[in-house]
Structure 1
Amino acid sequence: MRPPAPPRCARGGLAPVSGGASPVALSAQALRLRAWALGMLGGAPAGDAPAVDADAWRVFLRVEACAVPLRNALRAAGVRAGAGEAELDQAATTESQRVLSARSQVSVIDRLAAGEGWRIAVLKGGVALQAPSPLDVGDLDLLVDPAHAPALLAALQAAGYAAYGEDHAEPGPRDHHYAPRWLPRTVPVEVHFRIGEMDPGVDLLGAAVPLDGTRALLRLAPADHLRHLLLHTVAHHPHRRGRLRDLLLIAGAVRALGEPATEAAAAELAAHPFAAQLGETLAAARELASGRAPADRWRRASGAAYVAAASSWVGRLGRGSQAELSTCIYAAIGCAEDRRRLWRRLWVRASSPSGVPALAWLESRSAAAGGAVRATVRVARYAAAAAAALPVIRAAREAERRAE
């Protein structure tokens, strides 16, 4: 399962990926699916799935990454997915394959850690790989004692793992992991030497607890695990706020921690710049954890994600351009802190040399000139991304209106 090469850049209107229904129509249908799925996953009697196109199912499942738990909920309730039966089965099979791949990576890392005495904690979705209804994983994230990380990377290389990208020779303050490592047909392994959104003064590995089903691996302490999931979803990746897979993962962390400790963890986040958004996400996860369907607080953001997933031109953008587009979309429809973070990103000083040879040469001659050119290029790229975000946001608003 090799990470895909970045697709070529292209621009265009909101043309559908499939050549069928428009992105607005597919997004509206996907929003109806989302409302129904929240009921199913929350244990509410939601009945059979709404009648929507198979393409809408594909868009919904691609964004929400919840095929396995949703299919399990349908079977338990004895309801049907209608035109989405085949799409749901196919997506669930793909998610299950990624889960099996991640489990195999855990076995490899566990064997290495047991043999060498390395302190390694499995993060985020990797903690739930053995759950009865496993959740989709895109990679396996590990937090490794910085003293052990070079030896682990060397051991992975000796085992045939290749680097996807380059490690920073001198990691900057915003860097927190090495380039992903991968074997063909497996999910990548991402080795973290710190967790960017967590307090660097907290000894997360020192407080970590054994990971069930392994000989030597750890997981973050339950309260740290919950805080990490919340901060990663809300602050680090705002496009994942309200994504069903992430809400289910956080709900599992809430169940494992228990209500009194969850309340204490929530209180510790009250002073965070994203306190309101963290509170919304935690509230929805608590409702799911207790078997209730939460209110959907993310319809506009979900609609934008569906529109982007259904638009052919977005799929043809390079990875960097997609990230810039996503940042601009969610800064526009998010909160004031999202917009402040975007503004700071425009002017942040780069902590490593440019990957563009001409800029790297200029920086080597004059750091000030090189920094000025990089900032100018960055502003121009984000200005283009902001212009491209406008039709996506307008389409999301229209999709939300049609879905009502």
Structure 2
Amino acid sequence: MADVPPFQGATGRATHTVVRQALCARRWALRVLAGGNPEPAPALSAQGWSLFLEAERCALALQRRLGEGASVLGAGEPVLRHAATLEMMRAMSLQAQLRTVAPLLRRNGWPGIVLKSGAELAGGGDPVDVADVDLLVAPEHAAPLARALEQEGPYATVGRDAAPGSREWEAAKRLAPGSVMIEIHHSVPYLGPGIDFWADPRPTRVAGVLRPAPALHLWHLLVHGVVHHPERVGTVRDLLLMAAAFRNCSAGEVAWVRARTANALVPADLVAMLDAAAALAAGKPPRDRFEVVAAVRYRLYLSPQPGALARVFPRTWPAAFALASGREAYRALWVGSQKSALVPSAFRGDTRLDHVAPRLSHLLRTSRRVLLLAASTPGAWMLARGAARDARSSR
């Protein structure tokens, strides 16, 4: 299985068949991962299992749950084994990167908080699939840590470093050959008022590396998986991470998280994700409100990249995910966050016009975003409608 979406170029009836198979696999996997006795798996093609595992990133969890009983997957057993191996390799790479950065933090007296999936792994949780290491440090330590990493090994710089105090929140990524990337954050955006990661961080099993307090960790996972990345809403991997975080929270901490959803962007999706995570944490199959979003995600994995539609109308896929989620999510594309069409861009432009006539430059950028989103919406509506049909017919 490659590290890019598989089966690119599938069209027509083949696309519908594989998407519906992946949806069947998702329903079965959520029941099995909730902790019940493993039931017979649906009879799917290797392609259906591969699409499901590639998009949902839960091969390790399924392999742990099934153990020697993975043969129930039939044609999916070798697919599961291969996907779980890749996920384990990435998880081990993250742990190796933490062992590289931890001595640098200790030696220089720089506190560092590992976020999201890295916090779960560093805290002794079950291995999960990861894409990178997110490490939060004080703003004045971001650039020195990046330089120290580059002196420590062959780390290449991916992107550009943002100055602390700017509207950006992280340095450029550092990438060593064959490893997951390290993202050095000097702030964490979009979590709402009153958030302070430094107020009560907890130790991890990696000396010199901290993790967020339980309630803040759960809230960050929730916002990141819904607001920051709408295309990942309801992924099985994210639900399992949130379930693990849920188990570490007290009743009062869960109540604090629930209270914050009311004033956040897309509160209905946040509550639905939290409810699903709570059910998994309690060993119960969750009510899955994200099947249509999952079907859009599967269609994206099957589509040619970037695809003719997305080349002409680049907001098509984000709009399709939003329409599949519901009215709140689509409204958020227009207004409500720094990524919306009708608000200033999260990053200030650096063209001559930005310096000479910033208001005109902002107007032009906003007009472009509005036109692109409006033009992309009809195609997105068609994609979301097709995904809804796939979800209905797969039941």
Q: Please report the TM-score for the alignment, with normalisation by the length of structure 1.
A: 0.87
Matched, 1:396 2:387: yes
Matches within 5 A, 1:152-167: 152-159=145-152, 160-167=154-161
Measured in 1, the distance between the counterparts of 2:57 and 2:276 equals 17
Measured in 2, the distance between the counterparts of 1:112 and 1:40 equals 42
Deviating more after overlay: 39-48 vs 126-135:
126-135
Change (3 A) 1:337 1:171: farther
Cα deviation, residue 50, structure 1 = 0.9
Measured in 2, the distance between the counterparts of 1:69 and 1:112 equals 32
Q: Residue 372 of structure 1 aligns with which residue? A: 363
Matches within 5 A, 1:192-341: 192-199=185-192, 201-211=194-204, 213-314=205-306, 324-341=315-332
Q: SS at the partner of 1:143?
A: strand
Matched, 1:122 2:117: no
Change (3 A) 1:321 1:74: farther
Matched, 1:348 2:348: no
Cα deviation, residue 368, structure 1 = 3.0
Cα deviation, residue 35, structure 1 = 0.5
Cα deviation, residue 273, structure 1 = 4.0
Provide the aligned C-alpha RMSD in A.
2.8
Q: Residue 188 of structure 1 aligns with which residue? A: 181
Asked if the contact 1:113–1:120 (Cα under 8 Å) also holds between the matched residues in 2, the reply is yes
Identity %: 34
Measured in 1, the distance between the counterparts of 2:255 and 2:359 equals 48
Q: What amino acid does structure 1 have at the position aligned with 2:159?
A: G
Change (3 A) 1:164 1:315: farther
Q: Residue 162 of structure 2 aligns with which residue? A: 168
RCO comparison, higher one (Cα < 8 Å, 6+): 1
Q: SS at the partner of 1:47?
A: coil
Q: Residue 69 of structure 1 aligns with which residue? A: 61
Matched, 1:138 2:115: no
Deviating more after overlay: 105-114 vs 234-243:
234-243
Q: Residue 377 of structure 2 aligns with which residue? A: 386
Change (3 A) 1:171 1:315: farther
Measured in 2, the distance between the counterparts of 1:320 and 1:225 equals 38
Cα deviation, residue 169, structure 1 = 4.8
Q: Residue 179 of structure 1 aligns with which residue? A: 172
Change (3 A) 1:371 1:269: closer
Cα deviation, residue 298, structure 1 = 0.9
Q: SS at the partner of 2:113?
A: strand
Q: What amino acid does structure 1 have at the position aligned with 2:162?
A: H
Matched, 1:57 2:49: yes
Which residues of structure 2 form unaligned runs of 5+? none
Asked if the contact 1:230–1:281 (Cα under 8 Å) also holds between the matched residues in 2, the reply is yes
Measured in 2, the distance between the counterparts of 1:88 and 1:283 equals 27
Q: Residue 12 of structure 1 aligns with which residue? A: none
1:99 to 87, 91, 95: 91
Cα deviation, residue 80, structure 1 = 1.7
Asked if the contact 1:178–1:190 (Cα under 8 Å) also holds between the matched residues in 2, the reply is yes
Which residues of structure 1 form unaligned runs of 5+? 8-14
Q: SS at the partner of 1:207?
A: coil
The number of aligned residues is 386
Describe the superposition over 1:166-201 as per-residue Cα deviations: whole angstroms up to 9, x where unpaired: 22357654x322222111211111111111122354
Deviating more after overlay: 291-300 vs 339-348:
339-348
Deviating more after overlay: 215-224 vs 336-345:
336-345
Q: Please report the TM-score for the alignment, with normalisation by the length of structure 2.
A: 0.88
Q: SS at the partner of 2:241?
A: helix
Asked if the contact 2:53–2:83 (Cα under 8 Å) also holds between the matched residues in 1, the reply is yes
Cα deviation, residue 317, structure 1 = 8.5
Cα deviation, residue 397, structure 1 = 1.7
Measured in 2, the distance between the counterparts of 1:254 and 1:179 equals 31
Measured in 2, the distance between the counterparts of 1:274 and 1:380 equals 23
Measured in 2, the distance between the counterparts of 1:139 and 1:343 equals 29
Measured in 2, the distance between the counterparts of 1:325 and 1:19 equals 17
Describe the superposition over 1:63-112 as per-residue Cα deviations: whole angstroms up to 9, x where unpaired: 10000011111226565211111111111111111101101111111111
Q: SS at the partner of 1:136?
A: coil
Measured in 2, the distance between the counterparts of 1:287 and 1:192 equals 32
Q: What amino acid does structure 2 have at the position aligned with 1:350?
A: S
Q: Residue 11 of structure 1 aligns with which residue? A: none
Asked if the contact 1:42–1:292 (Cα under 8 Å) also holds between the matched residues in 2, the reply is yes
Deviating more after overlay: 106-115 vs 77-86:
77-86
